[in-house]
Amino acid sequence: MKAKEDPTQRSHYWQLLPYWQPHWRSIATALSCTLVFTAAWPLMAHLAGRLLALLVQGDLGALVRGSAVLAAVFLVHKAAQYGQDSQMAKAAFAIALDLRNRVYAHLQSLSLSYFETAKTGDLTYRLTEDIDRIGEVINKLFHDATPCVLQLIVVFGYMVYLNWQLTLASLVVAPLMGVLISWFGDRMLVFSRRSQNLVSDLSALLTEVFSGIRLVQAFAAEDYEIERFQQEAERNRQAKYAAAWLKAVQFPVVGFLQLLSVLLLLLLGGWQIASGNLTGEQFGSYVIAALMLIDPIAHLTDNYNEFKQGQASIDRVFELFEIQPAVIEKPNAVLLPPVTGKVEYRNVSFSYQPDQPVLRQLNLRVDPGEAVALVGSSGAGKTTLVNLLPRFYDPQDGTILIDGIDIRAVSLRSLRRQIGIVPQETVLFSGTIAQNIAFGQKDFDLDAVQAAAKVANAHQFISQFSQGYHTWVGERGVNLSGGQRQRLAIARAVLLDPRILILDEATSALDAESEALVQEALERLMQNRTVFMIAHRLATVRRADRILVIEQGQIVESGTHTDLLAQGNRYARFYAQQFQ
């Protein structure tokens, strides 16, 4: 659930302070170099003014010595700049890495209900582009903006030292420039936030379409999707152009004000020299110092816009931290010991939306090693019932126990490691076949993987690949058939060796030959395990120890296949509909 806080009122960059602290040495080194870098500016202005005077006087020897001193100061200045830039880049990108890892870990802690509504493309954009922008802005904040601010302060102080009256008079334009830069920056924040949201929407659209490209082509909907993409891309272009247009307006306006400042400086300087308050050498140093202010002002103007863009990225990233998991592990959660597989649902009620119950005061007891099949119409609550067992969701009322232990009292990891799931749609990840079977294990025994594949009727087809278990699967396992992917899912469950097994429509999308192989593998997998089996095909549940008919979130019939057919009620009607 998101907080209702106005994102424009957040502290923005101060939210990153905890991420700065581990890298304080690099930041301190960079700031030390920045101080040396900044201190060299007024010294170079003074030496440059002195050289101009010596040039006019024609003193060649003094001019050579002065040039050597200026060159040495310049080398120190650039060495300090290198230290500042390299150390700050090291810290900034390390901060971005820490933030990216922390955000990803937080997302992994969120419940299934969040990912069912979140846009994958948007999350991807926040974890990549937004965090990259934050790292770049942090880097620029220290290696560019901070030196520019210090340069303004030091050089301005030197100008006050040379002639305070001239400096005070030349500040007439400064307040107007500050107001304009602030106004442009605030508008840039609005445009940047809008642009980044639209880019993430575009990324989400691409993820959605490429994942469902088969459906797009099946319905000949390419033109429809092209038009939808063009509309999103146009909205993105308009938002980016608005930000670019604002910057295009900003620089001429600020540049014109800078020109007015220079012209005013020349007029006032001539007046001060004529009045005897300023020498020609001092005015030369003063002009060079004033010219040194132009570059940092231009940088700060540009940086201010980027900082506003960075604020929008910080808002989008830290919004994720405000989302809390719906399923929360207790602080004192204990490890679930190895279980026998006894499962109990006691007065369990659950709803996804208020006042729309999916399960209603459901009671169920499953003994260790018992295979229970759940049948019923779509939306009856079958999948919800089994999804509560590994705590993908928590019921609003009631208790679920395994071996008499409330599952809310144990750690999620210890609970889920004892529950195997073979879903209808097998999800495979980029990697080898062996890595997919041993999913979640950093170091695995290849012999154990092969043994699991043999149980799952997968060893034969795997061996036919030239690289065997080291064959690269590819994204979503597109180079494997549905039956092959399903047998890999069974092998994955075999290797996990769970005491409780959930089969969610495990054979519904297979042809007859593949289904026979998968069914044989499932029968091996189900031995000596507590099994929850969901299937619309009643032929696959006939050998269950008990069949439960669920309607409107309640168990309305329970018994064996033969008993339920003899009763002639709901199960018998389901059976007749499928086999007539």
pLDDT at 269: 67
- Other CB atoms within 10 Å distance of the CB of residue 115: 12
Cβ contact 309:1 at 8 Å: no
Query: Helix (H, G, I), strand (E, B), or coil: what is residue 344?
Result: strand
Contact between 205 and 285 under an 8 Å Cβ cutoff? The reply is no
Half-sphere exposure of 143 toward its Cβ, with a 13 Å CA cutoff? 24
Predicted pLDDT of residue 391: 93
List 555's β-bridge partners, or say none: 550
Contact 547, 571 (CB under 8 A): yes
Boundaries of every domain in the chain: 7-322, 343-579
Cα distance between residue 158 and residue 451, in whole Å: 79
Phi, psi of 126 (to 5 degrees): -65, -40
| Cβ atoms of 417 and 497 closer than 8 Å | no
Tokens, residue 241: 């152009």
Q: For position 513, what pLDDT does the model report?
A: 67
Give the separation between CA 39 and CA 49, rounded to whole angstroms. 17
CATH topology of domain 7-322: ABC transporter transmembrane region fold (1.20.1560)
At residue 6, the pLDDT reads: 43
pLDDT beneath 50: ranges in the chain? 1-10
pLDDT at residue number 396: 93
Buried b (16+ CB within 10 A) or exposed e, 421-441: bbebebebeeebbbbbbbbee
Spatial separation of the C-alpha atoms in residues 103 and 124, rounded to whole Å: 11
The string of DSSP codes covering 438-478 is TTT-SS--HHHHHHHHHHTT-HHHHHTSTTGGG-B--GGGT
Cα–Cα distance measured from residue 576 to residue 26, given in angstroms and rounded to the nearest whole number? 74
What is the SS3 assignment for 227?
A: helix
Structure confidence at residue 228 (pLDDT): 77
Q: Which residues pair with 400 in a beta bridge?
A: 345
Q: What is the CATH number of domain 343-579?
A: 3.40.50.300
DSSP string, 278-314: S-HHHHHHHHHHHHHHHHHHHHHHHHHHHHHHHHHHH
Per-residue tokens: 362: 């459901």
Write the CB contacts of 8 (distance below 8 Å, at least 6 apart in sequence): 189
CB count in 10 Å sphere of residue 1: 8
Reported pTM: 0.71
